[in-house]
Amino acid sequence: MTRPDSNREAYAAQGFELLALNEHFVLINKAAGIGFHDEVEGQNQTIRQLGLFNRVQQCLLEDKLIDQPLFPLHRLDKGTSGLLLLGRRAEVARELGEAFSQGRVQKYYLALSKHKPKKKQGAVKGGMQKARRGAWRLTSGKDNYAHSQFFSRGLGQGYRLFLWRPRTGKTHQLRVAMKSLGSPILGDALYGCQEAIENSAGFYLHAYQLAFHLAGNDYCFQCDPMSEDRAFPWLLPDSTPNGECELALEAFSRPEALSWPV
């Protein structure tokens, strides 16, 4: 397993931090505010803005850390930060792609809100239906069914940290779940958050831990968004008690060992 750090600043300028690289996959920490795919911009839609996937691929090819194109395995919303896995070979892409689609990859997320939830822990279940302006909403039906489990802890000054375990993989699933609890994610204006934040490029939702089995090995990776050692740490207000943040992260440090609410 390789963790090259020599190009850390250059990669951070492109919106990612290289965390691990081996013969099977590349693991990065994605910055909030950058889309996975290329985007076309400008008045005449003639300016192509490279998305994260092509930025990572281009950087690693130029630095000779990989010798062939990568394969996308899963995605994160533009405003979401955290762990993102890319395959290095077609057979790996097939195996891990199936694992993601069948729910055999364990995924955990952290989210921050400044609104008290209707309940402090539990599950959010229901159908997902398209709403206005590109948003989704939760319904009482079973169509496009979404199921998410969560715990939360207060951080002081009105802030609350959420640990999420999505059991399905629907578009905007956790963002909709947070809104349904009355606790929209900090910075997520599409789903009702009105507070202004410093990190205006994204919102406070972070892919925190990934665990999976591949080629006879078990892998588990965790990326703390509050660590100053990370390339894109969450910027919390100075008034937020450090002790409370540390206690919350300690309580959520082994999400796979928690007794998750049904």
Task: Return the active site residues.
Answer: 77
Backbone angles phi, psi at 32, to 5 degrees: -70, 145
CB-CB neighbours of 86 under 10 Å: 24
Residue partners of 256: CB distance under 8 A and separation at least 6: 106, 108, 209, 211, 220
Alpha-carbon span 184 to 181, nearest angstrom: 8
Q: Are 85 and 36 in contact (CB under 8 A)?
A: no
Look at residue 24 and give its three-state secondary structure.
Answer: coil
In three-state secondary structure terms, 82 is: strand
Q: What are phi and psi of 191, to 5 degrees?
A: -115, 30
Residue 226 tokens read as 């509050």
Q: How far apart are CA 250 and CA 248, in angstroms?
A: 5
State how far the Cα of 152 lies from the Cα of 23, in Å rounded to an integer. 37
